[in-house]
Amino acid sequence: MYRGKRSFDILVTFCALPFVSLLLTPVVLFLFLLSGESPLFLQYRPGYKENLFNIYKLKTMYPQLSDSAFLNVFGKWLRKYSVDELPQLINVLHGDMSLVGPRPLLTEYLLLYNKFQQTRHDTKPGITGWAQIHGRNILNWDQRFSLDVWYAKNQSLYLDIKIILITIGRVFRTKDVRPEGIPDEEKFKGNQN
């Protein structure tokens, strides 16, 4: 990690919080009123040096409320525009994540990585990253890992600013995103490299 990355994360997060709060407050209340349960989703993910932390996200799927078609459509909209990821600013302030870095993947993948892929954990995971601005979730696993490792080895303040600015543009255009997420058949299954 470059010198000043943590300070940059905190500064940008504090500047963004008033605007994010204006968006998240009605969304959180709306989800709570529709579902009757906490709209926050917590899950362990591996971070820097593979240390586990609880990631914060908004719930976007409510299988127990399958009769609520509107709630499921709204959840897809939240994923499409990455609104469900905004609670991760809490993770940034806590120090578990950075604004920019490889996206934190599932813990079940840890045992499947080869040595090259493991180096993605040489930096903190991010809300957005180099892979996200080069294809988001339409990339195959080899492409994602290559981009994540490249970022871990080449990160800089200039690169982080560039990634954040490109991310903002891509989120509003919903470029390179499948709002449904990754189907089970496309989960990472390891390789022989």
- Give the percent of the chain with pLDDT over 70: 89
d(CA 138, CA 176): 6
Q: Which amino acid is at 91?
A: N
pLDDT class of 178 with cuts at 50, 70, 90: low
Tokens of 191: 């390789």
Mean pLDDT along residues 177-184: 51
Q: DSSP for the chain?
A: --TTHHHHHHHHHHHHHHHHHHHHHHHHHHHHHHHSS--EEEEEEE-GGG-EEEEEEE----GGGTT-HHHHHHHHHHHHTTGGGGGGHHHHHHTS-EEESPPP--GGGGGG--HHHHGGGGS--EEE-TTGGGTGGGS-HHHHHHHHHHHHHH--HHHHHHHHHHHHHHHHHTTT--TT---GGGS------
pLDDT tens track for 101-123? 999 999 999 999 999 999 999 99
Whether the pTM exceeds 0.75: the reply is: yes
pLDDT tens track for 24-55? 999 999 999 888 889 999 999 999 999 999 99
For residue 145, is it left (φ>0), alpha (ψ between -120 and 50) or beta?
alpha
